[in-house]
Amino acid sequence: MGKENHINTKKINVPLDLGVLYKVLDASVTGIVITDNLLPDNPIIYCNPAFEKISGYIRSEIIGHNCRFLQGKDRQQSERKIISTALGKGESCTVEIRNYTKKGKLFYNELYISPVKDESGQITHFIGIQNDVSSRRKSQQELELVQQETERKVEERTRMYRESQEYLSSIVETIRESLLVMDKDYKVLTANNHFLNTFKVSINETKGKLLYDLGNGQWNIPELKKLMEEILPTNNPVLDFEVKHDFPHIGKKLMLLNAHRIELEGRYKDWILLAIEDITDQRALQQRKDDFLSIASHELKTPLTTIVGYMQLMERMMPENASNKFKGIVEKTGKYVQRLNQLLSELLDVSRIQTGNITLHQEEFDFDKMVADAIESIRAATPSRKISLTGKIGRNFTGDESHLIQVISNLLSNAIKYSADNTPIEVQVSSISDFIKVSVTDRGMGISEDELSNIFDRFYRVGEVQKHYPGMGIGLYLCQQIITNHGGTIWAESQKNVGSTFNFTLPMH
Amino acid sequence: MKYKKILVCDDDQGILEMLELLLEEDGYQVVLEPNSVNALKTIERESPDLILLDIWMPMISGDQILRALRDNHKISSIPVLMYSASTDGKNIAESCGADSYISKPFDLTVLLEKIEELLKA
Ligand SMILES: Cc1cc2nc3c(=O)[nH]c(=O)nc-3n(C[C@H](O)[C@H](O)[C@H](O)COP(=O)(O)O)c2cc1C
C-alpha cells in the first residue's frame, strides 16, 4: 500500500478535530466509510456523500449496516474471505470486489480497509475507502464498447421507425391509455381513440384546440396547469402525477398523468406527450377491499370477545378434580383462540395501514426499558428459550412505543418459531451515529437469498416454513410499515442452516 | 363492597350474557341494556354504581351516550368503563371522558381489576 493511503490513527482520537475531519471527509470524491469495531457486526457509523453517490443508497439506508450489503447476492467471491481474514488479524487490505448499487447495477469496487487502534492497541474502528473502478476494467470496457455499438444500432433503427409516421400513430392508437400530443402552446395535434372514448369527445372538438379549452373548458384544471406550466419545463418527464377532477358529463375521475417533452431533431421541438390513465375504478376497488378487511375483522372480533370471555370463565370455574386431560383441552382451546385473536388484530392493522389510518403516537419513552419489556413478555410465554440482551441506548426515544414493542415481539416470536428449541436468541441494541440499531439473531434454519428479498411483502411466507407454521405473513409487513413510518429501515441477513439476523434502525431526530 | 350494581350497554347479546355470568359470579348485581337508544333512560332509572359501555353500537354510539351522560347532572358522576375492538377506541374513550378503557377481547382478570378500582374510587 502506498504511503499516501496510510491513515494517521492518532488524529482520529484527538477530540478537538472530529468536526473538521468529517468536513474534509465529506468533501472527498472517493467513497469513505467508518465502522465501529466495538459494536456488534462492525456497523457503519459514518459515510461521506461520495459513498452515497457510488452506492446509490442514502445515508439513512447505510448507517448501522455492515458494509457487506453492497455485495447483494454475490456472496461467493474470494475477496470476501481475504477481507475477513485481514480484519480478523487487524491488518489493512486492498481488494477489488464486485458490488452493487441500490438499483442493482454491478460496479467493481477497489476497496482499501485500514484499522484504527487506540492507545492500548485495541482496534476501535475501521476505515474503508472505495473507488468505483468499473471503467478501468478492460473486459468491462470491451463489453461497454459492444453495448455502445448495439445501442447505436438500436438508436439508428428506432430513428428510422420514428420517422415513419405510421409506426407512431399505430402505437398511439394501440395503447389502452388516453394520449394527447400537443405543441408547446398546448394546442392539440393528435388525440387517440381511447382519449376520445373515455372523455366522450369527437376528434373535431379536439384537434387544433387548446388543451384548456377542450370540451367547454373541462380540462381547465388548476393542478394540470401547474403540471404543464410549472413542473414539466424543469422536470422532464413527469410521471404518475395524480389529478382528481369532476367532469361535467362523465363524473368524478381520478387520473394518473405522465407528461413528456419530446423533440425530434430538425422536425419539431418542445412537443408534449400527455398520457392519461384513468385509475378511478382501480382506486375504488382498493378502497372497497380495505373497507372489507377492516369491517370483516372488526365484526369477527365481537363474537370472538364472547368466546374469549367464556374460555377464561371455563378456566376460572374449572373444578379442582377435573382430569389433566380435560384441563389440557381447555388450555389448548384457549391458546388457539388467542392465536385467532392475534391474526385478527394484525388483519385490522394491515387494513388500517393500507388506508393510511394508522396513527403513530409520538411520545417520549425509555427505549431500553421498552426492549427489555418486550423480551420479558416473550420470555413469559416461552420460559424455556434462552434470550439474551446486550447493549443499550441510555436515552429516551420519541416515537410510538406500543407499535415498536409489536415490532420487537414479532421479530422475537419469528426467531423462536423458526429455530430449534435448544438454540439461543440474541437481541443487540446499539446507538450508531444519530441512529438506534436493534438486531435479533437466531441460529435457525435460515432464509435463502431469493426469499430474503420478499419476506417483508404483504402475505409472504418463507416457502419451506409455510408447511410448519401456517398462517398469514402479515407480521413482517407490519413491522416494515411501522419502522418506515418512523423514518427507519428494516432488513434481514441470513445464511441457510446458520441462522438469520433481523435488524432495524431508527433515526433519533 | 359487593352487591354493587353494574350496568352493561352493548348491542351484542353474546357479550351481554357472558359479562352477566362473569359479573354475577364475582358478586355484582347486573343490569343489561342491549339498546343504546334506551341507555340514558335506563341509567337514570337504575342509577348504577358503574357503567360498562361499548363504543360501536348502531343508532347511538357509546361516545355519544357518554357525552350526554356527562351533561346530565343526575348521573354525570357515575364512573364509566368503555371498551371496543378498534385500535382507535382508546383515543375515542379518552376524548369523551371515559374513566377507563379496555380493548376487546377482554382479559377477564384485567377487566375485573379495572372494575374494582373504579368502584373503590
Ligand atoms: C471499513 C470497512 C469497509 C468495507 N467496505 C466494503 C465495501 O465497500 N464493499 C464490500 O463488499 N465489502 C466491504 N467491507 C467488507 C464487509 O463489511 C465484510 O467485512 C466482508 O464481506 C467479510 O465479512 P462477511 O464474510 O461476514 O461478509 C468493508 C469492511 C470494513 C470494515
The minimal CB distance from B12 to the residues A302, A348, A359 is found for A302
Residue indicated by cell numbers 474470494 = A78
**For chain A, what percent of residues have pLDDT higher than 90?**
33
* Average predicted confidence (pLDDT) for chain A: 83
| Full residue range of the structural domain in which residue B46 is found | 5-120
Please check whether residue B96 is in contact with residue B88, taking contact to mean a CB–CB distance below 8 angstroms.
Answer: no
Q: Which fold has domain A175-278?
A: Beta-Lactamase (3.30.450)
Q: Check whether A64 has a pLDDT greater than 90.
A: yes
Domain A363-507 has CATH 3.30.565.10: yes
Question: pLDDT at position B59, please?
Answer: 77
- pLDDT category at A185 given cuts 50, 70, 90 is confident
Can A18-132 and A175-278 be said to share one CATH topology? Answer: yes
Instruction: Domain ranges for chain A, please list them.
Output: 18-132, 175-278, 283-354, 363-507
Residue A479 Cα, ligand 1 centroid: separation in angstroms?
27
- The enclosing domain of B41 has a CATH number of 3.40.50.2300
Question: Can you give the pTM of this predicted structure?
Answer: 0.50
B58 near A CB under 8 A: no
Candidates 3.30.450.20, 3.40.50.9100, 2.30.30.100, 3.40.50.1360; CATH matching A18-132: 3.30.450.20
- pLDDT category at A148 given cuts 50, 70, 90 is confident
Mean pLDDT, residues B2-26: 91
Domain A283-354 has CATH 1.10.287: yes
Q: Which residue intervals of A385-433 are DSSP H helices?
A: 401-417
Residue A68 Cα, ligand 1 centroid: separation in angstroms?
5
ipTM of the prediction: 0.81
Contact A305 B108 (CB under 8 A): no
Contacts of B106 in chain A (CB under 8 A): 305, 308-309
The residues, ordered by sequence, that sit 6+ positions from A380 with a Cβ below 8 Å of its Cβ are none
Q: How many structural domains is chain B composed of? A: 1
Contact A313 B104 (CB under 8 A): no
Tell me the C-alpha distance between A483 and A489, whole Å.
6
Q: What is the pLDDT of residues A299-312, one digit of tens each?
A: 788 889 999 999 99
Contacts of B26 in chain A (CB under 8 A): none
Query: The C-alpha cell of A210 is what?
Result: 387548446
Contact A317 B85 (CB under 8 A): no
Question: pLDDT at position A431, please?
Answer: 93
Tell how strand A499-507 and strand A435-442 pair up: antiparallel
- pLDDT category at A10 given cuts 50, 70, 90 is very low
Question: pLDDT at position A379, please?
Answer: 87
Q: Which residues pair with A390 in a beta bridge?
A: A428
Residue A492 Cα, ligand 1 centroid: separation in angstroms?
17
Residue B86 C-alpha, separation from nearest chain A C-alpha, in angstroms? 7
DSSP H or E run through A83: helix A78-89
CB atoms closer than 10 angstroms to residue A79: 16
Identify the CA nearest to B10 among candidates B88, B116, B82: B82
Q: What is the pLDDT of residues A425-441, one digit of tens each?
A: 999 999 998 999 999 99
- pLDDT category at A213 given cuts 50, 70, 90 is confident
Q: Got the DSSP string for B60-88?
A: S-HHHHHHHHHT-TTTTTS-EEEEESSTT
